[in-house]
Amino acid sequence: MEQRYSDHWPEYLMEAGGLCLFMISACVFTTVLEHPGSPIRQWLGSAFLRRTIIGVAMGLTAIGLIYSPWGKQSGAHLNPSVTITFFRLGKLARADALFYVLAQFAGATAGVFASSFLLNRWISHPAVNYAVTVPGAAGTAIAFGAELLISFLLMTVILFVSNSKTLPAFTGVIAGILVATYITLESPLSGMSMNPARTVGSAALSHTWKAWWIYFTAPPIGMLAAGELYLRLRGARGILCAKLHHQNDKRCIFHCGFRERSAPAQEATAASRPDLSRVECCTGTKDSENRRSP
């Protein structure tokens, strides 16, 4: 049946809203834990411990969004690199991919904009700076390589887990654990973006565009490379859907392998059922003949 892409606007809004909430969470936790005037910042002197807490908070935020009603319906990409990769793998229509990406950029920017009202002058302090992502002291080359690697690993894990026989329901949990780990361990190298829209959301208000090209190139290259690797190992038939959580009652707007897989089974079940109307008809005919018999 032909899809009507004009009916997919709820999914686009869900993607925008999801990334908006993710950025609000990032700005709030970064401000609370990094602003010099924060009592929590003064109490926690260890930068590693503060990054760990932020990482756990953002990992839980990602998990919550993936398993939320919005995430279950839109697929919870929340990242243009994820959307582009699923488009390359044939799971999204061109129009859906385009509007997903636009919605993600709009949602990330809206989230930081809303945070600027909520946190006022606190969020603009140099120690917070709108939770901006910039290369660390090791330089741009290391930052590029780190973003490439973590993006490749995340998409590889998503593809193998979401298309497995026993673990697809845990895709969101594993993705959240990776986000938490990356923020804790990798963020000193690149700021841990993995997401062009997330970077733009912070940069637009902070006016900090340092090495922005890293976050527009390394994440999509890394995730597309993961997609190509998966295609070579498992083939196109091994990619079922673009949703991170599919075991739910929400509609699916993607080129969904679960739907294609269930259709033949439903047809086979229907074909195996006895034709009750015919049985009743035959029974009724036999009964009528019996009644006519002397």
Residue 138 pLDDT greater than 80, yes or no: yes
Q: What's the pLDDT at 256?
A: 82
Q: What's the pLDDT at 273?
A: 52
Query: In this structure, are residues 15 and 194 in contact, taking their beta carbons and an 8 Å threshold?
Result: no
Which of the four pLDDT bands, split at 50, 70 and 90, describes residue 262? low
111: left (phi over 0), alpha (psi -120 to 50) or beta: alpha
Which of the four pLDDT bands, split at 50, 70 and 90, describes residue 3? low
Residue 71 burial (10 A CB sphere; 0-12, 13-18, 19+): buried
- Rounded CA gap, 68 and 71, in Å? 5
Please provide residue 20's backbone torsions phi and psi, each rounded to the nearest 5 degrees.
-60, -50
Please provide residue 79's backbone torsions phi and psi, each rounded to the nearest 5 degrees.
-165, 120
Q: What's the pLDDT at 261?
A: 55
- Rounded CA gap, 3 and 91, in Å? 13
Query: What is the share, in percent, of the chain residues with pLDDT greater than 70?
Result: 86
Considering the chain, what is the average pLDDT of its residues? 89
Per-residue pLDDT tens over the stretch 40-67 = 999 998 999 999 999 999 999 999 999 9
Predicted TM-score (pTM) of the model is 0.86
The one-letter code for the residue type at 180 is A
Q: What's the pLDDT at 236?
A: 87
For 5-255, CATH number out of 1.10.1740.10, 1.20.1080.10, 1.10.275.10, 2.60.40.1180 equals 1.20.1080.10
Q: What's the pLDDT at 78?
A: 97
Name the CA dihedral angle for 91, 97, 101, 103, rounded to a multiple of 10 degrees. Answer: -110
The one-letter code for the residue type at 81 is S
- Rounded CA gap, 132 and 206, in Å? 7
Per-residue pLDDT tens over the stretch 208-252 = 999 999 999 999 999 999 999 999 999 988 999 999 998 889 999
Please provide residue 146's backbone torsions phi and psi, each rounded to the nearest 5 degrees.
-65, -45
Per-residue pLDDT tens over the stretch 192-212 = 999 999 999 999 999 999 999
- Domain definitions of the chain by residue range: 5-255, 262-292
